[in-house]
Structure 1
Amino acid sequence: MHHGQIKATPVVGLVGNPNSGKSSLFNVLTGLRQRIGNFPGVTVEKKAGMLKLPGLPTVELVDFPGAYSCYPTSLDERLVVQELTNPEGELFPDAILYVADITKLDKHLLLFTQLRDLDLPMILVLNMADLMDSDGLTVDIPRLSKKLGVPVVPVSSRDHRGIGELKEVIAGLLREPDAFRPRQPFYEPGANARDVLAELRRELPARNDYHALLLTHHAPWLKHIPETTRHHIQEARVRHGFHSLRAQVEETMDRYNSFEPIVRDTVRHAGDTDSLSDRIDNVVTHPIAGPILFIVLMLLLFQALFAWASVPMDLIEWTFGTLGDTVRQTLPAGWFTDLLVDGIIAGLGGVLVFVPQIAILFFFIAILEEVGYLARAAYMFDSLMQRFGLNGRSVVALVSGHACAIPAIMSTRTIANWKERLLTILVTPLTSCSARIPVYVILISFAVPQVAYLNGLISLQGLAFAGLYFLGIAGAMLSALVFKWILNTPERSFLMLELPQYRVPVWRNVGTTVWQKSKTFVVEAGKIIMIISIVLWAASTYGPPADMAAANQLAGERAQEQGLSEDETADLVASERLEASYAGHLGKFIEPVIKPLGYDWKIGIALLTSFAAREVFVGTMATIYSIGSTDDEFRIRERLAEERNPVTNEPVYNPATAWSLLIFYVFAMMCMSTLAVTRRETNSWKWPVVQFVFMTAIAYVSAMAVYQLLT
């Protein structure tokens, strides 16, 4: 640390407990100059941003995940310890902004004193300074600063108080990292630990005793410790009877004893004010009222996703439709125009049409998070979810999966335990997303008679609709249970949550969240949807030349025999060409596999194309059944009802086939953007493949069972 010159890009780390207001401060300091990536080697999200300080090179500000102490219970916390104990690492900070909630200083100083003993240059940032006035807190800043041996800056990310001063202090600390150093450590290792350290101190790449102690504790999983050193540490621990867990507990107690008096001495409360938060919590986390309130909130969220998103979604679809028509009329007819309109513009519309739903979903989730409600929901459902191998925080993902699995999978980043996060990602797509609605609506009309009870209040079709949703949820929970047995890892998870005070949301944080998530979706999922759309277009447009020519001729002859109009002829030609195309050949090829489910080759193509996005099923049916130009749902229904099996002359869409398709669509992974997001969030191809295989298997077996039973 004793270097005179400043690095080309100094790194400043933002560290603190969860809910200390770290992210708000990060947003204030960096604005939209943020890059989101992953930390090296793990799937934990890494936020970095640029900070300009007068007279210094541009500083990189890294927002580390929230952590409670240097003895981690989650992936996020491990990451903090790993980066801060590795002076050679690219993310090792030149200075640390330690953010603590001023109202909970007595809890938030544990990690602070640990990092202080690592001898890292630090500034203590007391966040929520706006609460000092309302809660009647008084803090003796100079005295606190003297006792802790660091600069202390009160700030408020809400009204930007103290931000200017904070920037000056950061600049000062980077220029003279040695100016502030505590005279003595907060904690001295016990006799047992001292023996181990005396033996290991020579070979451990440690800067001081406490650094060496942390390396000794965490050697088994720290990535930057060489294998041989790891082995020596293990031996020394055994030889001296060093009991890691006992040492951690002792140290934690010791530290509380050293900083609690400091807090008592410098922070004064004017009467206890958190009774209001507690009174609200008595209702919100109540065993009966709590879940009811949760369900009501979620129903509102769904209503909003449907009601509010429908106008912008229709607008986007209309825009792309109009754009397609305009291009078709302006450019000369030919393959390039077709590719532009049917491949690229249709594909792009397919991506952007989900943006309103994603934005609205994250808007609500961000508000619930900011207000402090999500922590309570997680706390309420944790014990139930643990039985299924999930985590309280999985509730959020499973609920939002009903709108769209993509943002739902993205929201699993709040789950620290890797296994629980993985399980949540794997089973979330089983909840029925809104894209399945057009498919459900059409098929239920064939599967369920129109019968209503209680003067039309309850209809069988409505019940069937709700039933499909519950089937999806049941499927997700049971799959999680099975995976919990298969992926039997020793990690037990503890939900360490501090229930934060209820607060008014910081709207800038909500805005930043919505913007970042929408942007990520468009860029990441967009690329893949575009590629598939183009491939699908090509496969359905082209085919073996001889077959295509024969199809044209056959369609022409049939049109003359039947005296069809120009539009009807065009539809018939489109239908015959599709059967002769590569997609048609593929449909015929997979027909034997899907025959036991009651499907023919046309449904086969629709199953394949609807993999791009579930709604494509309806569009494909329209093309295949030579409806061609008219894309009206009721028209499709009539057309499907007329479709007969050429051999038996039975209707193709009898209740058995319709139910089989419905069940297939409940369980099948039918949307490759979801796979794309799973690939991105798990950082490997293994899990998306597992997810695809297990969902398709469930779908296939259930659909076959249903079809065979009903026939």
Structure 2
Amino acid sequence: MKVALVGNPNTGKSTLFNLLTGLNQKIGNFPGITVDKKVGFCKLSATQNAEIIDLPGTYSLYPKSKDESIVFQVLADKNNSSHPDVVVLVADATNLRRNLLLCSQVADLGLPMLLVLNMTDMARKEGIHVNVNKLSERLGIQVVAMSARKNDGLDTLKKAISHTTAISTQVSGIDVTIFAPEAIAEVKAKIKTENDYYALQVLHQHEHLTFFTAKEQQEIEAIEKAHHFESSKIQGAETIARYRYLSTVLTDLIFDTGAEKKFKVTDKLDSILTNRFWGFFIFILILFFVFNAIFSWSSYPMELIENGFVWLTEFGHAHLPAGVLTNLLLDGVVAGLGGIIIFIPQIAILFALISILEDTGYMARVTFMMDKIMRKFGLSGKSVVPMIGGIACAVPSIMSARNIENWKDRIITIMVTPLVSCSARLPVYTLLISLVVPNKMILGFLSLQGLTLMAMYVISIVAAILVALVMKFIIKAKEKSYFIMELPVYRMPRWSNVIYTMYEKSKTFVLEAGKVIIAISIVLWVLATYGPSKRFDAIEKKYTAIEANSTDSVQLASLERDKAAEKLENSYAGILGQTIEPAIKPLGFDWKIGIALITSFAAREAFVGTMSTIYSVDNGDEQTATIRNKMRDAKNPETGLPVFTFATSLSLMLFYAFAMQCMSTVAVVYRETKSWKWPVIQLVYMTAMAYVASLIAYQFLK
């Protein structure tokens, strides 16, 4: 049995999908398009299994985005591999009136369906009580009350799915033939259907329905023109008629004893949090808090992890047999991986705080507040969601831009979102800030390091907005954009969801970055350990002769370090770094940083792993065993000054703030735009911005 989950966004549909399928799920694409298809498998009873398909969230069958258009495609085409035997419509019990619009539309398609009233626990808390039996009777479909978050009502739902048939689903609602009787009658005859609403939807959406031939499309278009079918007017009239019908259905069914109190609290908070002045001031304070927390709360666990890797490396060198494999494992893989795992506390804190802001309903307010400002720069309020999401990762954020209806707004959002500093840049920033910014408190509670980190994020957001302004005048489009958004009531965050998000995002960061880091670390260790035999032989001869004339143990240890440094400089990695050094020297970068820039084009976070590997091969002494100490003690051989001065570190941070150093982002921009034109433009303009910003910063501050 194929079961499709359909519902508005934020109704707990994905939570229900996870509850039904557990770990038995996979993600692919709907045929021919890039929209994600989530499919899982569920045991309904001892004898019956079901394939569960999680369709994209939508407010109605009239799509406003590419994702939403999938819903009618799947429900309408019986030959579609995802076409369901049963539709489970998931509704939010705390906002039933709005959710039932989609329910009445799907019911009118004549598919076997049932209604799930989700979040009933939250509804009870808010004083909302729904008469489920009467609702089922009036709609003519089965209604199951449950709470997916608390695993309450799952067995009842499974039984209800098993017993859902076309006979148990009565088509109820409005008479749609009144809107375009002749056109509907002709389409019904043309596509051989008895369903009036299906024929009406075909008139509205046939251009997007891939299962019609070109000839059929032309014939339907001809029917539209012949009967002067005005799609937008009829959509509006139908929506009004449906809400009138639903008002009669819900009469005496919903008792909301807490509505006044609930909205009173929300309105009071909104009068402050979305105020023209105080709203932005509070938002800035929240940002201060977030970035301060990233530094201050993570310092102790980071220190433990850092010391743990130092101990592991020393223990390995002491107990494993000396040789190439041991050096590869400890100075290559372990050093590279340690450079990533150390940042787990900061990543976890960042995602936990973002999750809390989203769960409470505050993030929706930020989107609302920013809409007016964003429009002046060629974006819309909906662009804020991908841009704020970009703080986590640009890849899913660019994919979420599909929900922006206006083509120009969507393209500009895709083009500027990678400028917003993501979690992959966080390790680079925090490492460099810890090297050059003192760990001091301002006003007794603000960390200077936290403020510097916040400044890097603010710089990236300002840069994204300014680039959007330029693109507003370059990219031409006639479409007008609009912004409609539901502001949820304020709620306490779901702590289980916050903890799960922390765990899931940290795991993804380590596993996704870890694969790249291990691969780069192994290749880099080989390139940094070996070099042209003539050069290495000459170095060996030089230091053998010097060591033969030296008996001082301190001098011998110093010679070992000098030999390791000279070998690194003449290794394949050193030669590569020195080849690009003339181009990056004006930015304050040496050849070692140059190697990190090259490896970072696979993934930004590879910078830290590369530095760990390079300085491990460079053999620092035991007292400077951590990567931070090694980088802090690194000296410029020409000037004798530290390599990582304030000017160099700021220059490097600005380079990473603007440069497109993420192959995954390039790939997803190509996938979303279906053209190499946009990712190439993005790569060129971001690299140019990075170079110019770094050049100016270093030359002014050196």
TM range (shorter): 0.7 to 0.9
Structure-1 residue corresponding to 2:638: 644
Secondary structure of 2:87's counterpart equals strand
Structure-1 residue corresponding to 2:463: 475
Q: Where do residues 124-203 of structure 1 align in structure 2 (5 Å cutoff)?
A: 124-131=115-122, 133-173=124-164, 177-183=165-171, 186-190=174-178, 193-203=180-190
Structure-2 residue corresponding to 1:249: 236
User: Which of these residues, 289, 292, 297, is aligned with residue 278 of structure 2?
Assistant: 289
User: Which of these residues, 347, 364, 385, is aligned with residue 353 of structure 2?
Assistant: 364
User: Which of these residues, 419, 423, 426, is aligned with residue 427 of structure 1?
Assistant: 419
Q: Where do residues 535-614 of structure 1 align in structure 2 (5 Å cutoff)?
A: 535-557=523-545, 565-597=555-587, 599-609=589-599, 613-614=606-607
Higher mean C-alpha deviation, range 567-576 or range 602-611: 602-611
1:30-77 per-residue CA deviation (whole Å, 9 max, x = no partner) reads: 445454555555554544443321144332323333211111223332
- Is the Cα–Cα contact under 8 Å of residues 528 and 573 in structure 2 kept in the other structure? yes
Structure-2 residue corresponding to 1:216: 203
1:248-305 per-residue CA deviation (whole Å, 9 max, x = no partner) reads: 1121112122222111243344474332332222222222222222222232222332
Q: Where do residues 421-460 of structure 1 align in structure 2 (5 Å cutoff)?
A: 422-423=414-415, 425-429=417-421, 433-442=426-435
- Which letter does structure 1 place at the counterpart of 2:276? P
Secondary structure of 1:182's counterpart equals coil
Q: Distance in 2 between matches of 1:678 and 1:314?
A: 37
Aligned length: 686
Structure-1 residue corresponding to 2:376: 387
- Is the Cα–Cα contact under 8 Å of residues 105 and 263 in structure 1 kept in the other structure? no
- Which letter does structure 1 place at the counterpart of 2:72? V
Q: Distance in 2 between matches of 1:534 and 1:456?
A: 45
Deviation at 1:466, TM superposition (A): 6.7
Secondary structure of 2:208's counterpart equals coil
- Which letter does structure 1 place at the counterpart of 2:199? A
Q: Distance in 2 between matches of 1:655 and 1:377?
A: 34
Deviation at 1:113, TM superposition (A): 1.0
1:312-354 per-residue CA deviation (whole Å, 9 max, x = no partner) reads: 3333333343333333333322222222222222333344334
- Is the Cα–Cα contact under 8 Å of residues 367 and 510 in structure 1 kept in the other structure? yes
- Which letter does structure 2 place at the counterpart of 1:565? Q
Secondary structure of 1:565's counterpart equals helix
- Which letter does structure 1 place at the counterpart of 2:201? L
Structure-2 residue corresponding to 1:13: 4
The answer to whether residue 534 in structure 2 is matched with residue 532 in structure 1 is: no
Judging changes above 3 Å, is the alpha-carbon distance between structure 1 residues 365 and 459 closer, same or farther for their aligned structure 2 residues? closer
Q: Where do residues 411-426 of structure 1 align in structure 2 (5 Å cutoff)?
A: 414-415=400-401, 416-417=403-404, 418-419=410-411, 422-423=414-415, 425-426=417-418
- Which letter does structure 1 place at the counterpart of 2:430? I
Q: Distance in 1 between matches of 2:192 and 2:513?
A: 43
- Is the Cα–Cα contact under 8 Å of residues 284 and 293 in structure 1 kept in the other structure? yes
Judging changes above 3 Å, is the alpha-carbon distance between structure 1 residues 244 and 309 closer, same or farther for their aligned structure 2 residues? same
The answer to whether residue 314 in structure 2 is matched with residue 314 in structure 1 is: no
Structure-2 residue corresponding to 1:3: none
User: Which of these residues, 327, 332, 335, is aligned with residue 321 of structure 2?
Assistant: 332
Judging changes above 3 Å, is the alpha-carbon distance between structure 1 residues 205 and 301 closer, same or farther for their aligned structure 2 residues? farther
Q: Distance in 2 between matches of 1:245 and 1:505?
A: 39
Structure-1 residue corresponding to 2:659: 668
Judging changes above 3 Å, is the alpha-carbon distance between structure 1 residues 27 and 371 closer, same or farther for their aligned structure 2 residues? farther
Structure-2 residue corresponding to 1:7: none
Deviation at 1:151, TM superposition (A): 0.8
Q: Distance in 1 between matches of 2:548 and 2:192?
A: 87
Q: Distance in 2 between matches of 1:31 and 1:699?
A: 44
Judging changes above 3 Å, is the alpha-carbon distance between structure 1 residues 526 and 222 closer, same or farther for their aligned structure 2 residues? farther
Judging changes above 3 Å, is the alpha-carbon distance between structure 1 residues 130 and 328 closer, same or farther for their aligned structure 2 residues? same
Q: Where do residues 611-622 of structure 1 align in structure 2 (5 Å cutoff)?
A: 613-616=606-609, 619=612, 622=615
Deviation at 1:364, TM superposition (A): 2.7
Judging changes above 3 Å, is the alpha-carbon distance between structure 1 residues 706 and 101 closer, same or farther for their aligned structure 2 residues? closer
Judging changes above 3 Å, is the alpha-carbon distance between structure 1 residues 227 and 526 closer, same or farther for their aligned structure 2 residues? farther
Q: RMSD of the TM alignment (CA)?
A: 4.0
Q: Distance in 1 between matches of 2:474 and 2:549?
A: 62
- Is the Cα–Cα contact under 8 Å of residues 351 and 501 in structure 2 kept in the other structure? yes
Higher mean C-alpha deviation, range 555-564 or range 127-136: 555-564
- Is the Cα–Cα contact under 8 Å of residues 543 and 580 in structure 1 kept in the other structure? yes
Deviation at 1:169, TM superposition (A): 0.9
* Unaligned ranges ≥5, structure 2: 405-409
Judging changes above 3 Å, is the alpha-carbon distance between structure 1 residues 559 and 465 closer, same or farther for their aligned structure 2 residues? farther
The answer to whether residue 686 in structure 2 is matched with residue 695 in structure 1 is: yes
- Which letter does structure 2 place at the counterpart of 1:613? A
- Which letter does structure 2 place at the counterpart of 1:345? V
- Which letter does structure 1 place at the counterpart of 2:565? S
Q: Distance in 2 between matches of 1:371 and 1:465?
A: 25
Deviation at 1:577, TM superposition (A): 1.0
- Is the Cα–Cα contact under 8 Å of residues 111 and 166 in structure 2 kept in the other structure? no
Judging changes above 3 Å, is the alpha-carbon distance between structure 1 residues 542 and 692 closer, same or farther for their aligned structure 2 residues? farther
Structure-2 residue corresponding to 1:498: 486
Deviation at 1:26, TM superposition (A): 3.4
- Which letter does structure 2 place at the counterpart of 1:241? H
Structure-2 residue corresponding to 1:66: 57
Q: Distance in 2 between matches of 1:609 and 1:542?
A: 18
Secondary structure of 1:12's counterpart equals strand
- Is the Cα–Cα contact under 8 Å of residues 397 and 424 in structure 1 kept in the other structure? no
1:602-654 per-residue CA deviation (whole Å, 9 max, x = no partner) reads: 443343355553335754774697746634656654542x6316xxx999888
Deviation at 1:222, TM superposition (A): 3.2
Secondary structure of 1:479's counterpart equals helix
Q: Distance in 1 between matches of 2:349 and 2:475?
A: 34
Name the TM-score, length of structure 1 as normaliser: 0.83
User: Which of these residues, 687, 695, 698, is aligned with residue 704 of structure 1?
Assistant: 695
- Which letter does structure 1 place at the counterpart of 2:366? A
- Is the Cα–Cα contact under 8 Å of residues 678 and 688 in structure 1 kept in the other structure? yes
- Is the Cα–Cα contact under 8 Å of residues 336 and 609 in structure 2 kept in the other structure? no
Q: Distance in 1 between matches of 2:421 and 2:429?
A: 11
Judging changes above 3 Å, is the alpha-carbon distance between structure 1 residues 620 and 609 closer, same or farther for their aligned structure 2 residues? farther
Deviation at 1:116, TM superposition (A): 0.8
The answer to whether residue 267 in structure 2 is matched with residue 278 in structure 1 is: yes
Q: Where do residues 90-105 of structure 1 align in structure 2 (5 Å cutoff)?
A: 90-105=81-96
- Is the Cα–Cα contact under 8 Å of residues 288 and 450 in structure 2 kept in the other structure? no
Deviation at 1:582, TM superposition (A): 1.0
Secondary structure of 1:219's counterpart equals helix
Identity of aligned residues (%): 41
Judging changes above 3 Å, is the alpha-carbon distance between structure 1 residues 147 and 461 closer, same or farther for their aligned structure 2 residues? closer
Secondary structure of 1:90's counterpart equals coil
* Unaligned ranges ≥5, structure 1: 1-9
Structure-2 residue corresponding to 1:109: 100
Secondary structure of 2:52's counterpart equals strand
- Is the Cα–Cα contact under 8 Å of residues 596 and 606 in structure 2 kept in the other structure? no
Higher mean C-alpha deviation, range 566-575 or range 630-639: 630-639
Structure-2 residue corresponding to 1:5: none
1:403-427 per-residue CA deviation (whole Å, 9 max, x = no partner) reads: xx55465456655225465245322
Judging changes above 3 Å, is the alpha-carbon distance between structure 1 residues 217 and 536 closer, same or farther for their aligned structure 2 residues? same
- Is the Cα–Cα contact under 8 Å of residues 348 and 526 in structure 1 kept in the other structure? yes
Q: Distance in 2 between matches of 1:458 and 1:96?
A: 53
Judging changes above 3 Å, is the alpha-carbon distance between structure 1 residues 24 and 701 closer, same or farther for their aligned structure 2 residues? same
User: Which of these residues, 291, 309, 325, is aligned with residue 302 of structure 1?
Assistant: 291
Q: Distance in 2 between matches of 1:523 and 1:652?
A: 31
